[in-house]
Amino acid sequence: MRKRCSLVGMPGSGKSTVGRQLARRLNVPFIDLDQRLEEVLGATIRQYFEERGEEAFREREAQLLAELTAAPGDMILSTGGGAVLREDNRTRLLAGGGSVMYLRATPDEIYKRIRHDKTRPLLQVANPLQRLRELYATRDPLYRAASHYVIETGRPTVNTLVNMIVMQLEMDPQA
């Protein structure tokens, strides 16, 4: 079984948490795209957004995603919540030589998980739940278009989600 998988989904859907555990279970490198971007940019994503704007950020994100999806070897890649906004990124993910899993969570579930997280620029608005609902309405079809499988993250524990993904990878000719 090839151990290459990308995780897509809304901010707070569990991509980083599940990805770390999945990589540990499969004994492969874990790469968090947002974390790697911050290293490359020399600034937090929030700072880069404020200084250069979203378009400049999305361009750098697309460049790094292209490098990572073209790189050889096994890995678990956790993408940023907005990585699917560009069609090129969705195409790269699907062609990247592994399975793409959409970790799907409803806006209400996400809000319950991250409502106290002050580090997420997404929630620093007057009505964060409404903002999550708007993002979900726009992005859900894009996550579906960029993935091979949809994994519902509502009830299962992280360990159960990891087990579900491992089972999917074992059955998947893409992986």
Q: List the CATH number of the domain containing 48.
A: 3.40.50.300
Count of domains for the chain: 1
The pLDDT value given to residue 84:
96
Ligand-binding site membership of 86 (annotated): no
Ligand-binding site membership of 81 (annotated): yes
Ligand-binding site membership of 106 (annotated): no
In order along its 175 residues, the chain shows pLDDT tens digits of 668 999 999 998 999 999 999 999 999 999 999 999 999 999 988 889 889 988 999 999 999 999 999 999 999 999 999 999 999 999 999 998 789 999 999 999 999 888 777 767 667 788 989 999 999 999 999 999 999 999 999 878 999 999 999 999 988 765 5
Decide: 94 and 85 in contact? Cβ < 8 Å. no
Q: Does 173 map to a domain?
A: no
Q: Does 172 map to a domain?
A: no
**DSSP symbol at 101:** E
Ligand-binding site membership of 13 (annotated): yes
Ligand-binding site membership of 20 (annotated): no
Ligand-binding site membership of 60 (annotated): no
